[in-house]
Amino acid sequence: MTEFFQTLVSGLSLGSIYALIALGYTMVYGIAKMLNFAHGDIIMVGAYAVITTVMISEAIPGIVAVVISVIVCVVLGVTIEFFAYRPLRKAPSLTVLITAIGVSYLLQNLALLIFGSEQKSFKLDFFDMIKPIYIGKVYINGITFLTLVVTVIIMIALTLFINKTRLGKAMRAVSEDKEAAELMGINVNRTITLTFAIGSALAAVASIFYGGAYTYIRPTTGSMPGIKAFTAAVFGGIGSIPGAMLGGILLGVIEKFAENAISQWSNAIVFVVLVIVLVVKPTGLLGKKINEKV
Amino acid sequence: MERKPSSRLVPLPSNAFVPERDVDKSPILEARHLGIDFGGLTAVDDFSLIIGRTEIAGLIGPNGAGKTTIFNLLTNVYRPTRGTIMLDGYNTYGKSTAQVNRMGIARTFQNIRLFSNMSVIDNVKVGLHNEMKENIFDAMTHCFGFRRAERMANERALELLDFFKMADLAGTPAGSLPYGAQRRLEIVRALATNPSILLLDEPAAGMNPSETSELMENIALIRDTFQIAILLIEHDMNLVMGICEGICVLNYGKVIAKGSPDEIKSNPQVIEAYLGRKDGK
C-alpha cells in the first residue's frame, strides 16, 4: 500500500509538470490554431536561464533566478510568436507547423552553441529549504511537495483568469471565433501575444520543477517533456484547459505506475493508453465536439 | 401593428438623402465611391451612401448583389480597392477591424456567430471588452479595482440583457438558446460595444411573422433609446418597407436606386431587378 501511494505521489508530481507544459500547448492551439512545437524548448531555455543566473553569483537567491527565468521565457515566447508565427497567420497550418519545428531546432542548436553539449547540474537553494515530509510511510521530498502545491495554485489562478476576467473572456472569444471577436473590438494579435506569454511563463515554472526532479539539463532537455506534454494535451482534448490539466496529471500517474510495473515499457504503455483513448473518444477526454460551421 | 410614419427624407448638398431630423447633424457614416475587386471580378462598384445620425436605413437587393460584401467593407474585414469610408467624420482607411469597432461600428452576422460555448452574459461582456478598464495585475491579484470593473461590467451586461428581456437567461450557454434568442443576443452583444451605428445582416432570417414584428419593434426601440443609426440588410420586404427611412437597392454590385420606401416600391428598375422585365428580355 505504501508503495502504491509512493508511486501515486511521484506520478502526480511528474503529471503536474506535464500539465503545466500541456497548458501552453493547448492554450496556443485553442487561440492561434497552431501546434507550437518549439514550446518544449522554452522549458530548456528556462532551465538554462536559471543555472546561468545562479552561476553569475552564488549570492543571488533561487527565487530571483526563477523570476529571471520566467521573464526570459516570456520575452522569448512573445518574440518567437512575433517574428516566426505572426507573419504566417493566414498561411496553411502545415507551413506554421514546419516553422515551429524549425524554431525548435534553432533553440536547441543555439543552446548547444552557447552552453555546449555536456549536461549541467541543476540546483536551486530553496530545494533543500523545504524539509521532506512523511504522510504515514509515504515520503515526499521538498521539490515534489513544491511542484504539487505550486501547480494547484497556478491551475486555480489560471481557471479564474480565463473564466472571470475581461482578458480571459477575450481569449475564449478569440478561440471560438477570431473574426467575430475582432468585430467586437478585441485586438486579436494582442490576445495571441498574451496567450504565448502565459504559456511561456508556465513553461518556465515547469522547467524549475523538471530540473529539480532530474537534477541535470542539456540542450535537448526540452524535447521529451515537450512531446509528453503535447501527448497529454491531446489526451485531455487539445484546446481544452481543464483537459490539459487532467491529461497531464493522468499521463504522469500512468507513466509512473507503468514504470513501477515494467520499467522498460513505461513509454510504450503511455502511448498505448493514448491510442485507446483516441479510438474511443477522438476529441480526447474533455475535448469539445467540433461544430460544423455553416 | 401601429407605427409612427417614417420621417421625410431631405436632400443634402451632396445629392444624398437623410431623414429630416438628422439634416443639421453631420452624417454618421459616409461611403464614397466604394469598390472592391476579387481577382478579376468586381463585387461592388461605385457604392456611395450617406446615413444620418439616427436613421434606420435598409440595404436590399437580390442574392449575390454584394450586400454582405458592403458590410465587410464598412467594417474593414475587406480592404476596399477604391473609395473611402468616413465614420463620424473620420476616414477608416488602414484601421483594423477591431479599431473600426472602437470607432463606432458594430455588426451582427447573417449566419449567427455567437461564442456558443460561453454563457449569455459572457457573450455580452466580450462586447463590453473595451468599456471595462482593468489591468492584468489587478486581474491576477483579484484586487479591488478588478472587482469593481467586474461588477460594473456585470451590471451593464444585465441591464442590456434586461432591455431585451433576456436577463433570466444570463447563465445559459449561448449555443443552447432557441434560434430567435440567439439572434437577439447577437444584437445585444453588438450594442455592448457602444456603437454609433449598428449593422444588422438579415436580422429576420428564419423568423416567423410574430418574431419579425417583435424584431421591428426592437429595432425602433434601439434607435429611440440609444440614439444610434441602424443599417440593415433584409429580404423581408414588410420589415424593410415598414421600418426603414432610407433604402438603397443593390444589383450586381451597383446601386440601382436610393430613396424612401414609397419611392423604392414604385421604381421600375427595382421591380425589374426583383421580378424581371415584363417583356421577358
pLDDT at B234: 93
Checking if the pLDDT of A264 tops 60, the result is yes
Instruction: Indicate the residue of B98, B116, B149 with minimum beta-carbon distance to A182.
Output: B98
pLDDT (mean) for A255-264? 87
| Prediction pTM value | 0.88
pLDDT band per the 50, 70, 90 thresholds, residue A81: very high
B interface test, pick of A161, A166, A179, A189 with most B CB neighbours within 10 Å: A166
DSSP string of B55-70, one letter each residue: -EEEEE-STTSSHHHH
Whether B45 and B35 have beta carbons less than 8 Å apart is answered as yes
Does any domain span residue A133? yes
Per-residue model confidence (pLDDT) at position A66: 94
| Mean pLDDT computed over B26-46 | 90
Indicate whether A266 belongs to any domain: no
pLDDT for the residue numbered A132: 86
**Is this prediction's ipTM beyond 0.90?**
no
Would you say A254 and A10 are in contact if contact means Cβ atoms under 8 Å apart? no
pLDDT of residue B5: 44
Q: What is the mean pLDDT of residues A38-49?
A: 95
Rg of chain A, C-alpha, whole Å? 19
Is the pLDDT assigned to residue B27 strictly greater than 90?
Answer: no
A193 lies in some domain: yes
CA atoms within 13 A on the CB side of B57: 31
Cα B195 → chain centroid: 10
Q: How far is the C-alpha of B173 from the C-alpha of B126, rounded, in Å?
A: 14
Contact B84/A at CB under 8 A: no
Q: At what angle do helices A188-214 and A62-80 cross, to 10 degrees?
A: 140
Cβ separation of A188 and B98 shorter than 8 Å? Answer: yes
B193 vs A185: CB contact, 8 Å cut-off? Answer: yes
Architecture in CATH of B1-104+195-281: 3-Layer(aba) Sandwich (3.40)
What whole-number distance in Å separates Cα of residue B71 and Cα of residue A198? 35
Q: Which chain B positions have a beta carbon within 8 Å of A155's beta carbon?
A: none
Contact status, residue B69 vs residue B36, Cβ threshold 8 Å: yes
Could you tell me which chain B residue has the CA closest to the CA of A288?
Answer: B117
Confidence of residue A252 (pLDDT cuts 50, 70, 90): very high
User: Cell numbers 445629392 label which residue?
Assistant: B15
C-alpha cell at A227: 512531446
What is the spatial distance between Cα A228 and Cα A21, in angstroms, rounded to a whole number? 9
pLDDT 10s digits, A175-234? 999 999 999 999 999 999 999 999 999 999 999 999 988 889 999 999 989 999 999 999
Three-class SS state of B173: strand
Please say if the pLDDT value at position B2 is more than 50.
Answer: no
* A185 part of contact set with chain B, CB < 8 Å: yes
Residue located via cell numbers 542539456: A218
Is the model's pLDDT at B216 over the cut of 90?
A: yes
Residues in chain B closer than 8 A to A161 (CB atoms): 139-140
Q: Identify whether A262 is part of a domain.
A: no
Mean pLDDT of chain B: 86
Domain assignment present for A79: yes
Q: What is the pLDDT of residues A267-284, one digit of tens each?
A: 888 888 888 988 998 888
| Residue A282: strand, helix, or coil | coil
Q: Are A54 and A124 in contact (CB under 8 A)?
A: yes
pLDDT > 50? residue A292: no
Pick from A164, A166, A194: CB nearest B129: A166
Residue A35: domain span: 15-220
Cα separation, A222 vs A213, in Å, equals 14
Q: Which of A24-28, A187-191, B207-211 has the lowest mean pLDDT?
A: B207-211
The pLDDT score that the predictor gives to residue A2 is 84
What pLDDT digit, counting tens, does each position of A92-146 carry?
989 999 999 999 999 999 999 999 999 999 988 888 788 888 888 888 888 899 9
Instruction: Name the residue facing A167 among B117, B118, B136 (closest C-beta).
Output: B136
Most A-contacting residue of B125, B126, B194, B199 (CB-CB within 10 A), to test interface:
B126
Q: For residue range B8-19, what is the model confidence (pLDDT) as tens digits?
A: 666 666 556 777
Contact across the interface for A167 and B97, Cβ inside 8 Å: no
- Check if B130 contacts A (Cβ < 8 Å): yes
Rg (alpha carbons) of chain B, rounded to whole number? 20
- CB contact B149 to A (< 8 Å): yes
Tally of domains within chain A: 1
Contacts of A172 in chain B (CB under 8 A): 115, 117-118, 122, 126
Domains in chain B: boundaries: 1-104+195-281, 118-192
CB contact under 8 A, A161 and B139: yes
pLDDT the model gives residue B3: 43
DSSP assignment string, B197-251? EEEEESTTTT--HHHHHHHHHHHHHHHHHH--EEEEE-S-HHHHHHH-SEEEEEE
Dump pLDDT digits (tens) for B115-157: 999 999 999 999 998 876 544 555 555 555 667 777 888 899 9
Q: State the average pLDDT for chain A.
A: 91
For residue A273, is it within any domain? no
C-alpha cell at B80: 476596399
Q: Do B97 and A182 touch (CB under 8 A)?
A: yes
The residue in chain B having the minimum alpha-carbon distance to the alpha carbon of residue A169 is: B126
Dihedral of CA A266/A268/A270/A272: which sign?
negative
> Is the model more confident about A13 or about A266?
A13
